[in-house]
Amino acid sequence: MSDSPQPYRVLARKYRPRNFSELIGQDAMVQTLGNAIRRGRLAHAFLMTGVRGVGKTSTARLIAKALNCVGPDGQGGPTIDPCGQCEPCKAIAEGRHIDVVEMDAASHTGVDDVREIIEAVRYAAVSARYKIYIIDEVHMLSKNAFNALLKTLEEPPAHVKFLFATTEVNKVPVTVLSRCQRFDLRRIPAEMLAAHFTHVVDAEGVAAEADALALIAQAAEGSARDGLSILDQAIAHAEMGEGAPVVTAAQVREMLGLSDRGAVRRLLGLLLEGDTGALLGAVRDQYALGVEPLALMRGLLELVHAVTLQKAGRDISSPGQSAEEQEALRNWAAQIGFAPLHRLWQLLLKGHDEIASAAFPIETCEMALLRVMHAATMPDPGEIARLLRDGPASGAQMPASGTPSAPASEQPSASLPATFEQMIAALEDGGRHMIAGQIRDCVRLVSYAPQSIEMQLVPPLGREFAKTLESALHQVTRARWQVRISDGPAAPTLLEQDERRRADERAEILETPVVKAAMAAFPHAELSDELEQWSAER
What digits encode the pLDDT tens for the residues 497-509?
A: 888 888 888 788 7
**Segment 190-217 mean pLDDT:** 88
- In terms of DSSP H, where are the helices of 357-395? 361-374, 381-390
Neighbours of 491 (CB within 10 A): 16
pLDDT band at 377 (very low <50, low <70, confident <90, very high): low
Spatial separation of the C-alpha atoms in residues 33 and 42, rounded to whole Å:
8
pLDDT band at 412 (very low <50, low <70, confident <90, very high): very low
Q: What is the pLDDT of residue 349?
A: 92
The yes-or-no verdict on residue 148 having pLDDT over 60 is yes
**Segment 138-158 mean pLDDT:** 88
Q: Per residue in 325-354, pLDDT tens?
A: 778 888 888 888 888 888 889 999 999 999
Q: What is the pLDDT of residue 363?
A: 93
The yes-or-no verdict on residue 366 having pLDDT over 90 is yes
The yes-or-no verdict on residue 140 having pLDDT over 60 is yes
The yes-or-no verdict on residue 450 having pLDDT over 90 is no
C-beta separation of 197 from 217 below 8 A: yes
pLDDT band at 321 (very low <50, low <70, confident <90, very high): low
The yes-or-no verdict on residue 83 having pLDDT over 80 is yes
Q: Give me the long-range contacts of 154-158 (CB less than 8 A, separation at least 24).
A: 154/179, 156/44, 156/45, 156/121, 157/121, 157/122, 157/124
The yes-or-no verdict on residue 3 having pLDDT over 70 is no
Q: What is the pLDDT of residue 210?
A: 86
Q: What is the pLDDT of residue 403?
A: 33
DSSP assignment letter at 7: P
pLDDT band at 404 (very low <50, low <70, confident <90, very high): very low
Q: Per residue in 27-66, pLDDT tens?
A: 888 888 888 888 888 888 999 998 888 888 888 989 999 9
DSSP assignment letter at 125: P
Position with higher pLDDT, 399 vs 111: 111
| Residues whose CB falls within 8 Å of the CB of residue 405, separated by 6 or more in sequence, listed in order | 398, 399
**Segment 362-387 mean pLDDT:** 74
In a 10 Å sphere around its CB, with 0-12 CB exposed, 13-18 middle and 19+ buried, how is residue 90 labelled? middle
Position with higher pLDDT, 194 vs 261: 194
**Segment 198-212 mean pLDDT:** 88
Residue 309, CB-side half-sphere exposure with 13 Å CA sphere: 11
The reply to whether the predicted model has a pTM over 0.85 is no
Q: What is the pLDDT of residue 407?
A: 39
Distance (Å) of CA 303 to CA 188, 250, 267, 279, 459: 21, 20, 10, 16, 21
Q: What is the pLDDT of residue 262?
A: 79
pLDDT band at 241 (very low <50, low <70, confident <90, very high): low
C-beta separation of 266 from 320 below 8 A: no
Distance (Å) of CA 233 to CA 225, 242, 248: 12, 20, 13
Q: What is the pLDDT of residue 387?
A: 57
| Residues whose CB falls within 8 Å of the CB of residue 316, separated by 6 or more in sequence, listed in order | 306, 309, 310, 329
High-pLDDT (> 90) share of the chain, %: 14
Q: What is the mean pLDDT of the chain?
A: 82
Give SS3 for 101: strand
The yes-or-no verdict on residue 88 having pLDDT over 70 is yes
Of the candidate ranges 226-230, 251-255, 296-300, the one whose mean pLDDT is the lowest = 251-255
The yes-or-no verdict on residue 183 having pLDDT over 50 is yes
C-beta separation of 455 from 444 below 8 A: yes
Q: What is the pLDDT of residue 392?
A: 53
Q: What is the pLDDT of residue 391?
A: 57
Q: What is the pLDDT of residue 528?
A: 62
